[in-house]
Copies of this chain bind each other. A is one copy, B any other.
Amino acid sequence: MPVFAREEYLGRLERVKARMRERGLDILICADPASMNYLTGYDGWSFYVHQYVVVGLDREEPLWVGRAMDAPGARLTSFLAAESIRAYPETHVDSPTLHPAQFLAGVIADLGWDRATIGVDLDAFYFTARAYLELGKALPAARLVDTELLVAWVRLVKSEAEVALMRGAAAIVSHAMKVGMETVASGVRECDAVAEITAAQFRGTAGFWGDYPAALANVPHGEKTAAPHLTWTGERYRQGEVAYLELGGCHARYHAALARTLYMGTPPAQLLDVVKVVAEGMDVALDAARAGTTAHEVASAWNRVIARAGYEKPSRIGYSIGLNYPPDWGERTLSLREGERAVLEENMCFHMILGMWMDDWGYELSETFRITASGAPEVLTNFPRELVIKP
């Protein structure tokens, strides 16, 4: 039942272990659900309790360490043998005294790793400060070292099998955008629009069933478009307002994201000017996104276009995207922004999100694309880039 063949997981583990050797790590602990899935196939909405995957240089398979009631889910969804699945008892759930990291330390000690150099995900959401402190207390002879997103950096370059799932996710989100643009109209409640959009995201397409995106639909209108992350309410869309849709499509936890903007009425000249400049910036930045160039160069190409037109955008214009879980479809590794010197490689995938948030309105245009071996990127998402106008 894992999504990929055993060989795909073992290849990922080899790449992770090579980096562990470079960094002098004996074992590595992941608490990020996306990295846990990447290394084992494990997939469940159980990341609201503590759970971990442990990779040891001296073991072929990783260990899954989680809550007893989730062990059957690990058996059903991961490629791991039963021996690699270790479950802590219910007493360790939401307890002021017993912590899953104490149990994890016991598993580590039992395997003879209590004096090891242990990589931990210091800045992963889901790896709490307490988990870190409990591990240190229970394993005083071990050395805890920040992995600095080691597994997430390995995730950055996708395999062909992963790219196939991302193309499916892109087909889903492109269709959901069509549904959204047909549904949003003056007088409609935001929550009713998001109901239609989400149903389309979950149904998916004929070839790809829809999984839940790591972030739900973002469908603000009016002054709420000046802020990027305000979720919907029961308010109605109104004539004379801008609205944007920023949507994810997901298949088997792989994501593509897509943003488009619409105007209900006759768009003001100021908006049309931004639309024109951003469209040119998108063309130029996409064309710059080639294997061998840096993230910095892509952002600079964009910045030159908008600066010439008198605009500026203080935030990054994109980030790597792929396998993920709530709260974020981004991978937290490579951002498309000035100063970021990492070199783009074939099969890295990005969400380029050109969000222009003004004082009391905003405009968004985005695409999800794959860096190709040579030449311009493969744009995975597919929806006309024009401002949608509902007169």
Contact = CB atoms under 8 A, between A and B. Distances in A.
Interface stretch (A106-114, A221-229, A262-270): A221-229
Q: Which of A94, A99, A333 is packed against the most chain B CB atoms within 10 Å?
A: A94
Contacts of A223: 76
A191 B203 contact: yes
A328 interface: yes
**Residue of A191, A215, A332 ringed by the most chain B CB atoms within 10 A:** A191
5 contacts: A94-B335, A123-B131, A191-B209, A209-B233, A211-B231
Contacts of A335: 93-94
A200 B195 CA distance: 7
B127 A128 contact: yes
A227 B129 contact: no
Contact of A90 (B89, B229, B231, B314): B314
A43 interface: yes
Contacts of A56: none
Nearest to A202: B195
A327 B210 contact: no
Nearest to A337: B90
Contact of A229 (B46, B123, B337): B46
B70 A227 contact: yes
Nearest to A44: B229
Given A128-B128, A130-B122, A133-B122, A76 B227 contact: yes
A68 interface: yes
Contacts of A128: 122-125, 127-129
Contacts of A316: 90, 93
Contacts of A319: 94
Contacts of A46: 228-229
A209 B189 CA distance: 9
A63 B228 CA distance: 20
Contacts of A122: 128-130, 133
The 10 A-B pairs at the shortest CB distance, nearest first, are namely: A209-B234, A48-B328, A129-B132, A73-B227, A123-B130, A195-B199, A72-B227, A48-B327, A195-B202, A122-B130
A73 B224 CA distance: 8
